[in-house]
Amino acid sequence: MSDILERLSTSILEGDADTAVELVQKSLDEGLAAKTILDDGMITGMNEVGARFRRGDMFVPEVLMSADAMSEGLKLLRPELAKSDVKMLGTVVLGTVKGDLHDIGKNLVGMMCEGAGFQVVNLGFDVPPEAFIEAIKEHQPELVGMSALLTTTMRAMGQTIKAIEEAGLRDKVKIMVGGAPVDQDFSDRIGSDGYGSNAVAASDLAKQLVGD
């Protein structure tokens, strides 16, 4: 790995957004390919973040700073990636299901997925099944992620999956679920493709579901 990409990776790991943006710009100026910058600089850094978090060596506030640095760098890199027709790892449509106003956990999943190299479409909270269906049609995602924090709104996940089936879109997407009251057993019962217990686990699951 070149020195500049290694420094970029370190700036992501350290959550230093200013340096990350500066190094992305410098890498582009030096003529490095957008995909190389993404894969060998930024995603390498985020992968290390995930590994450290899983080991208990990094904590959520630090992970978020890294995700922010990743996100700032990506803003600069995205037009270049589009120009060279580089496909991201895939697209994830995310939302907190109908009746549930909890936003944070799902946003963390979004940031981690973005950090892992996904394009993320965040639908926000209190998202009705129809809005998920519209988004699938519009963005053609590989993945749909749903979140609920309340035992009372968990049921809306099953209802949303059913609605996606009825719209004939179930075989177009993989579905993953998460949220405090959700577990693997519930995920299986409502016919989801996977469950992530936290934001890092969710981005790992996303990568696994798209076969990366």
Partner 1 sequence: MRANYQVNSGVQFRMLSEDQLEELFNGVLHVLEYTGLEVHHEEARGILSEAGADVDELRVRIPSHIVKKALALAPRSFTVFARDGNPDHDVHIGPGRAHFGPGPTCPNFIDIETQERRPYLKSDVPLVARTVDALPNIDFCESLGTVSDVHHELGALYEFAGMFPNTSKPIVAWSYDRFDSEGIHQIAVAEAGGQEAFERKPTYVHYCEPLSPLVSTFEAIDKLLFAARHRIPLIFTPCPIAGGTAPVTPAGIVVQAAAESWMGLVLAQAVCPGLPFIMGGVLSVMDMSQMILAYGAPELSLMMAGVTELAHYAGLPLWQTGGCTDSKTLDEQAAIEGSLSVYFSALTGGDLCHDVGYTESAMTGSVFQLAMMDEAIGYARRITRGIDVNEDTLAVDVIGNVGPNGHYLREKHTRRYYKTEFWYPNLCDRRNYEEWAQMGSQRMSDRSIGRVQDLLATHEPSAIKPETEQVIERVLAEAEERVKESA
The set of residues, in sequence order, having a beta carbon less than 8 Å from that of 179 and lying 6+ positions away, is 102, 105, 106, 147, 148, 149, 154
108 makes contact with partner 1 (CB under 8 A) = yes
Residue whose CB is less far from partner 1, 65 or 74? 65
Spatial distance between the Cα atoms of 10 and 187, rounded to a whole number of angstroms: 36
177 contributes a contact to partner 1 by CB under 8 A:
no
**Single residue of 1, 51, 82, 104 touching partner 1 by CB under 8 A:** 104
Q: How far is the CB of 173 from partner 1 (least distance, A)?
A: 24
Options 48, 103, 126, 134; binder of partner 1; rule CB under 8 A: 103
CB within 8 Å of 140: residues ≥ 6 apart: 91, 172
Q: Which is nearer to partner 1, 37 or 102 (CB)?
A: 102
Toward partner 1, which CB reaches closer, 27 or 147? 147
Q: By CB under 8 A, which span of 44-52, 97-105, 155-163, 164-172 interacts with partner 1?
A: 97-105
Q: Whole-angstrom Cα distance, residue 171 to residue 101? A: 28
DSSP states of 57-95: SS-HHHHHHHHHHHHHHHHHHHHHHHHTT---SEEEEEE
- Residue (47 or 96) nearer to partner 1, CB: 96
Closest-CA residue to 135 (of 103, 107, 102, 163)? 163
Q: Among residue numbers 53 through 92, which ones bind partner 1 (CB under 8 A)?
A: 59-62, 64-65, 68
Count residues binding partner 1 (CB under 8 A). 15
Residues interacting with partner 1, by CB under 8 A? 59-62, 64-65, 68, 101, 103-104, 107-108, 183-184, 197
